[in-house]
């Protein structure tokens, strides 16, 4: 039996797998004791610590374009609307997406998947010139060697973005969770409507986290097929109430194509990428 070291959070689509209600005589997943998976993403792409891992989609694309030997299993763990986390102090200057030139926006790291998708939607739906925004971050990205643009300033001493927003040091911020403060509201009015419109036009989901495997495992065809089967069975037990989580190449293809184009437009990729080199076909 294969024993693969695994980093995987507990989501509806993975719950049965993590509980052991879905198992295989061929593959055993040895789950790492990591409560918050995204805090181990550097270990995924820099240390190659895991055989199977949850990973932010944009992190994977940036890593793969720089030669990190990971491949994508066609499993989306969750998708979400990035615009719901882009907030401002609505009692200050009635800021909206059309008045973002020169504004200071805070985010944990410039290359987080939520931030990349949010910028993509701002550009696509509101015509925002992303080069004219000013970004304040306090963490480097997960992937080594990604050069941030000149309009990004990193200051590890300014990690409390919510406080900086309410104090007026920031004009807007991408934060999770959103502050429970009546003064704070989403920058985009009706972000769900904008997001749904973007999805309708593109046919894509803003996939946040997906599943990757060590590239050397791709040669183990039976093991990879069994792994994909495990995710499919666990997903089936979750039922239809998990929008944005899905298993299968046909289901993820369009979202990946749009994700690649979005990352490329923001100059995050070291070289062009194709679906054939990214996704494992079984």
Write down the pLDDT at residue 157: 86
Q: What is the pLDDT of residues 164-190, one digit of tens each?
A: 999 999 999 999 999 999 999 999 999
* Residue 33 DSSP one-character state: -
Contacts of 146 (CB under 8 A, 6+ apart): 62, 66, 111, 268
Question: Across 93-102, 103-112, 234-243, which has the greatest mean pLDDT?
Answer: 103-112
Structural domains of the chain, with CATH: 2-80+206-278 (3.40.190.10), 82-201 (3.40.190.10)
Q: Please say if the pLDDT value at position 243 is more than 90.
A: no
Work out the percent of the chain whose per-residue pLDDT is above 90. Answer: 93
Residue with tokens 């900086």: 164
Q: What is the pLDDT of residues 144-158, one digit of tens each?
A: 999 999 999 999 888
Q: Please say if the pLDDT value at position 241 is more than 70.
A: no
Q: What is the pLDDT of residues 100-141, one digit of tens each?
A: 999 999 999 999 999 999 999 999 999 999 999 999 999 999
Write down the pLDDT at residue 281: 81
Q: Which two tokens stand for residue 183?
A: 């003064």
Distance CA 32, CA 12 (A): 18
Distance CA 80, CA 37 (A): 17
Residue with tokens 């062009």: 272
Distance CA 34, CA 7 (A): 7
Q: Which two tokens stand for residue 145?
A: 């060697």
């Amino acid at each position: 039996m294969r024993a693969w070291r695994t980093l995987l959070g507990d989501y509806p689509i993975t719950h049965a797998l993590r509980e052991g209600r879905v198992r295989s005589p061929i593959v055993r997943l040895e789950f790492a004791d990591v409560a918050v998976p995204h805090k181990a993403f550097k270990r995924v792409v820099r240390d190659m610590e895991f055989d199977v891992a949850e990973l932010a989609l944009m992190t994977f694309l940036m890593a793969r374009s720089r030669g990190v030997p990971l491949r994508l299993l066609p499993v989306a763990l969750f998708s979400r609307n990035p615009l719901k986390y882009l907030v401002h102090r609505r009692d200050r200057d009635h800021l909206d997406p059309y008045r973002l030139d020169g504004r200071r926006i805070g985010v944990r790291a410039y290359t987080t998947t939520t931030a990349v998708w949010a910028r993509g939607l701002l550009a696509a739906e509101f015509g925002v010139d992303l080069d004219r925004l000013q970004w304040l971050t306090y963490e480097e990205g997960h992937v080594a060697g990604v050069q941030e643009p000149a309009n990004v300033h990193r200051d590890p001493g300014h990690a409390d973005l919510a406080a900086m927003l309410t104090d007026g040091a920031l004009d807007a911020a991408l934060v999770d969770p959103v502050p429970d403060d009546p003064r704070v509201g989403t920058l985009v009015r009706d972000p769900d409507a904008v997001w749904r419109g973007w999805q309708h036009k593109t046919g894509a989901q803003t996939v946040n986290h997906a599943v990757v495997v060590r590239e050397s495992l791709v040669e183990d065809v039976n093991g990879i097929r069994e792994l994909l089967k495990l995710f499919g069975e666990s997903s089936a037990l979750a039922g239809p109430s998990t929008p944005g989580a899905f298993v299968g190449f046909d289901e993820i293809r369009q979202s990946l194509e749009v994700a690649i184009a979005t990352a490329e437009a923001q100059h995050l990729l070291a070289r062009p990428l194709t679906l054939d080199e990214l996704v494992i076909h079984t």
